[in-house]
């Protein structure tokens, strides 16, 4: 390349034997030509070359090491296994964190308590005869339990009846109970009707029963509101 460059410079200038200063000046002018910029390797070319060099180095025997393509494939398999393990170890906490963020808004209200916390609060209100609060909290516990088990998703905007509909397929034997519990929640929460000991007992019993039941593997109802 250097020889061709000097030849081009000399022919362009009409001088075959320039002195050192003239040669430097002509070289600087020649290299300023945009054609040389386009000939330079791009960042992508450099990355591809680096990857190629790495793979070539990986597959090239060195010293007395019995290196062969099968060994290289084994190394690649180990690397993939490490990547998968890293995703399983460090990816799940991030997914759990995102799920917690999604479920922080439950039926229109901020609710960060766990299932156990919601159930305990519901029992406290029930013990005091405060059936409205007990009913609302126990249904929230039911919903939070389905979410945390990964059975039903309840993103912001999901209603109690929408959640019940989503739970129909996983729990086909509890369709009527789910619908009745959702109606009871709406009656108390939005229609200002009073909860009762019987209604609370029904929702608490349903919550306990669902917690013991293995869900059926079926898709959620599309478009549940």
DSSP string, 118-171: HHHHHHHHHHTT-HHHHHHHHHHHHHHHHHHTTS----TT--HHHHHHHTTTT-
Residue 13 scores a pLDDT above 60: no
10: buried, middle or exposed (CB in 10 Å: 19+, 13-18, 0-12)? middle
Q: What is the pTM of this model?
A: 0.54
Domain presence at residue 223: no
Containing structural domain, residue 23 = 2-39
Count of structural domains, the chain: 3
Confidence (pLDDT) at 158: 85
Q: Which residue has the higher pLDDT, 100 or 216?
A: 216
- Say what the pLDDT of residue 192 is: 86
Predicted pLDDT at 49: 76
Does 121 share its domain with 171?
A: yes
- Count the helix, strand and coil residues of the chain and give each as a percent rounded to the nearest 5: 70, 0, 30
Phi, psi of 141 (to 5 degrees): -65, -40
Does one domain contain both 113 and 203? yes
Q: Where among 101, 130, 147 does a domain terminate?
A: 101
Cα-to-chain-centroid distance, residue 208: 31
Structure tokens at 107: 């039926």
> How much is the mean pLDDT over the chain?
75
Return the H-helix or E-strand segment holding 99.
Answer: helix 92-102
Residues 136 and 110 occupy one common structural domain:
yes
Same domain, 195 and 155: yes
- Residue 24 sits in the same domain as residue 66: no
Q: Which has the closest alpha carbon to 55: 73, 43, 40, 39?
A: 73
Give residue 54's pLDDT band: very low, low, confident or very high (50, 70, 90).
low
Nearest-CA neighbor of 182 among 197, 198, 199, 194?
A: 199
Same domain, 156 and 200: yes
DSSP code at position 201: H
The mean pLDDT value for 37-64 works out to 64
In DSSP terms, 109 is beta-bridged to 106
């Amino acid at each position: 390349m250097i020889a061709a460059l000097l030849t081009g410079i000399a022919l362009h200038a009409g001088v075959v034997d320039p002195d050192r200063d003239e040669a430097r000046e002509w070289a600087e002018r020649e290299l300023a030509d945009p054609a040389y910029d386009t000939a330079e390797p791009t960042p992508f070319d450099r990355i591809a070359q680096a990857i190629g060099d790495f793979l070539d180095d990986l597959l090239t025997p060195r010293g007395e090491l019995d290196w062969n393509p099968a060994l290289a494939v084994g190394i690649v398999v180990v690397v993939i296994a490490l990547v998968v393990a890293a995703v399983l170890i460090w990816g799940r906490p991030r997914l759990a964190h995102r799920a917690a963020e999604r479920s922080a808004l439950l039926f229109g209200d901020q609710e960060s308590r766990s299932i156990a916390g919601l159930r305990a609060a519901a029992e406290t209100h029930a013990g005091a005869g405060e059936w409205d609060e007990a009913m609302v909290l126990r249904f929230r516990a039911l919903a939070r339990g389905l979410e945390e088990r990964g059975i039903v998703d309840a993103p912001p905007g999901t209603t109690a009846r929408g959640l019940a509909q989503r739970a129909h397929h996983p729990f086909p034997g509890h369709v009527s109970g789910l619908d009745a519990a959702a109606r009871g929640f709406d009656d108390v929460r939005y229609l200002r009707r009073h909860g009762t000991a019987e209604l609370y007992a029904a929702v608490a019993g349903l919550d306990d029963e669902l917690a013991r039941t293995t869900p059926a593997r079926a898709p959620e109802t599309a478009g549940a509101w």
